Structure 1
Amino acid sequence: MNASDRTPADLLRSALAADPARPLVTFYDDATGERVELSVATFANWVAKTANLLQGELSAAPGDRLALLLPAHWQTAVWLLACSSVGVTAEVGGDPAGADVVVAGPDALEAGLACPGERIALSLAPLGRRFPAPPAGYADYAVEVPGQGDRFAPFVPVDPEAPALVVDGTERSGAQLVEQARVDAAALGLAPGSRVLSALGYEDWRGLSTGLYAPLAAGGSAVLCRRPDLLAAGALDRRMESERVTHSVL
């Protein structure tokens, strides 16, 4: 990654320029058997579409706050980088009542209705499927995002010193987030090509860093595992071997 990168969106742009075909996020849901692998290029395309949805359809702007009520999931990672691209502050598990936008999964739809602004629902079903019908009070992400543009340009340049992420009660600017991700990557011994398997949630910084930001900062990739406790004995070890995992955080 480039030393000049100061926001997570900068890190993604550098990754795209360096090697767009390499894997960036691989996601397993062991409750459903789902496996999704996104290359840097595919992930960046999802981020661009989501950022266009956020900036255009939802009229979000730098300084706005988005309550992100989602578990560790590849679509959560997309939303985190889309917020960084627009300059919106992502509040992981944030209070919807104080947010300008809420993005909620199936388990948080009722809580998300407290948001007075725009509301987006994600089914989190395999293959990014839509809901049979949009939940009351929400737009369905899977319906809204496909028609968005594949390229994104912010209306206003993103300030690296502005708040970018709030998790576990701590607010970080884009620059602080990138710096901490680099520190974490060094502590884990990550290098370009490292592949990190994480079974941690996204509800705190450690889970977010090991499951997204540190691998991104190091030029590596993340293998997210949701509900690995459902695996048979030895299955996780076989997964690590098949996915060529170099580091694991369980």
Structure 2
Amino acid sequence: MNASDRTPADLLRSALAADPARPLVTFYDDATGERVELSVATVANWVAKTANLLQGDLAAEPGDRLALLLPAHWQSAVWLLACSSVGVCAEIGGDPAGADLVVSGPSTLEAARACSGERVALALRPLGGRFPEPPAGFVDYAAEVPGQGDRFTPFAPVDPDAPALAVPGAELTGAELVERARADAETLGLLPGSRLLSGRPYDSWEGVSTGLYAPLAAGGSVVLCRNLDRLSEEDLEKRIEAEKVTVCVIET
């Protein structure tokens, strides 16, 4: 986006300034039939609300470690960018027992209970719905985030040279993350306006890069597909055409 961008939060701000109305994340869950499309402005609003929840209600500070136990999902992308906005290091699949906070989906709640700090649970229901009954010991994200502010200002400036993301086998600062995302975008041939379809899970650098960071760095967008293996080849071809996809990374 801009040469001066040094954190994922910077990339999002540049995307918002360039074209807030364009799509940024289009999410499919082929196990449930869910489809949701979020513009840059909508993602930025969710990120601001989540960052306010993280910094305010959950008292997270720069340098804290957050174990992110979520699948490839549009709300996972929001949490990754919110962590960057606050200066919290997001640990993909991190150990809850060693983290300051944990954010969990419905299938990892028992593991998440090992965290002695704040615990947040996401139901991952269509339209960002709440749990029918909030899990004991957890903040229900969908219940708490709507009331948060639509604008976010960090209490302290985020250091681009501080740890921002931990994935299996690597820990990256914000600046390193942006650099790798730009390199991946170039390798994939992404340009402003490109539409990348990704079927990779959010369990590695490759997954979160193709599923968020590389399209964001290029000024493009992602069609993020969960449970893509349930889709027939014919239906996948129809999706690629309907979504105007220009680059595919479809391994699941």
TM-score, normalised by the number of residues in structure 2:
0.98
Whole-angstrom distance in 1 between the partners of 2:165 and 2:22:
26
Counterpart in the other structure of 2:65: 65
Counterpart in the other structure of 1:223: 223
Whole-angstrom distance in 2 between the partners of 1:38 and 1:118:
28
SS in structure 2 opposite 1:238? helix
Shift of residue 230, structure 1, vs aligned partner: 1.3
The one-letter code sitting in structure 1 at the alignment partner of 2:170 is T
Whole-angstrom distance in 2 between the partners of 1:233 and 1:95:
37
Whole-angstrom distance in 1 between the partners of 2:134 and 2:83:
23
Counterpart in the other structure of 2:169: 169
SS in structure 2 opposite 1:146? helix
C-alpha RMSD of the superposition = 0.5
**How many residues are paired up?**
250
Whole-angstrom distance in 2 between the partners of 1:31 and 1:141:
22
Aligned 1:17-166 pairs, distance under 5 A: 17-166=17-166
Whole-angstrom distance in 2 between the partners of 1:94 and 1:231:
30
Whole-angstrom distance in 1 between the partners of 2:72 and 2:172:
19
Whole-angstrom distance in 2 between the partners of 1:80 and 1:125:
19
Shift of residue 101, structure 1, vs aligned partner: 0.6
Aligned 1:160-239 pairs, distance under 5 A: 160-239=160-239
SS in structure 2 opposite 1:235? helix
C-alpha deviations, 1:165-194, integer Å up to 9, x for none?
000131000000000000000001110000
Whole-angstrom distance in 1 between the partners of 2:74 and 2:214:
15
TM-score, normalised by the number of residues in structure 1:
0.99
Whole-angstrom distance in 2 between the partners of 1:138 and 1:202:
22
Whole-angstrom distance in 2 between the partners of 1:229 and 1:186:
27
Whole-angstrom distance in 1 between the partners of 2:227 and 2:237:
15
- Unaligned 5+ segments in structure 2 are none
The one-letter code sitting in structure 2 at the alignment partner of 1:135 is P
SS in structure 2 opposite 1:115? coil
Whole-angstrom distance in 2 between the partners of 1:99 and 1:192:
36
Structure 1 runs, 4 residues or longer, greater than 4 Å off: none
Shift of residue 119, structure 1, vs aligned partner: 0.3
Whole-angstrom distance in 1 between the partners of 2:151 and 2:87:
16
Shift of residue 233, structure 1, vs aligned partner: 3.8
SS in structure 2 opposite 1:6? coil
Whole-angstrom distance in 2 between the partners of 1:203 and 1:58:
25
SS in structure 2 opposite 1:145? helix
